[in-house]
Amino acid sequence: MSDLVRLSISLEADLAAELDRLVDQSRYENRSEFVRDLIRERLVDEEWARGGEVLGTITLIYDHHQNGLTDKLNELQHEYHANVLASTHVHLDHHNCAEMIMMRGKPDVLRELTDGMRKLKGVMHAAFALSSTGKGIVRGGHHHA
Ligand code: NI
């Protein structure tokens, strides 16, 4: 962890009250921890905007009785084998499956794969989330232990 620097910032009273409300509502112990994570989030946003390598996950909900769907999903994942790191399949009930796919690569490529899956008949929902490979995030702080 790098050395701590103490900053003093000026905020309008309303905004300061909102900050304290957000800190109270969250699991953060103090304002510093909260602001640290806000900055880290911005750094991750910046990574995405620069088009660097990111980590992404797709959560798919689909009906496995839909003709040919599982084959198509499988083919797509093979097409993007360089980006797919791992996947987990859960049988939700008699008809419905959930699949969580973890990916690594350029944001555009990961979005392309997600859209390819999303538009297949029988896919009811495809949630896409981006995160960081960790390279662009500044370490430090004692939380998340
Ligand atoms: Ni299943």
Which tens digits make up the pLDDT trace of 46-73? 887 887 899 999 999 999 999 999 999 9
Cα(74) to centroid(ligand 1), Å: 13
Reported pTM:
0.72
Cα(79) to centroid(ligand 1), Å: 21
Which tens digits make up the pLDDT trace of 78-124? 999 999 999 999 999 999 999 999 999 999 999 999 999 999 999 99
Q: How many angstroms separate the Cα of 32 from the Cα of each of 39, 58, 137? A: 11, 32, 17
Domains of the chain, residue spans: 13-49, 54-132
Question: How sure is the predictor about 145, in pLDDT bands with cuts at 50, 70 and 90?
Answer: very low
Number of alpha carbons in the 13 Å side-chain half-sphere of residue 67: 0
Residue range 54-132 forms a domain whose CATH class is alpha beta
Cα(129) to centroid(ligand 1), Å: 22
The 3-state DSSP class for residue 136 equals: coil
In the numeric block, which tokens belong to residue 7? 């900053």
Q: How many angstroms separate the Cα of 114 from the Cα of each of 51, 61, 94, 122? A: 17, 12, 24, 14
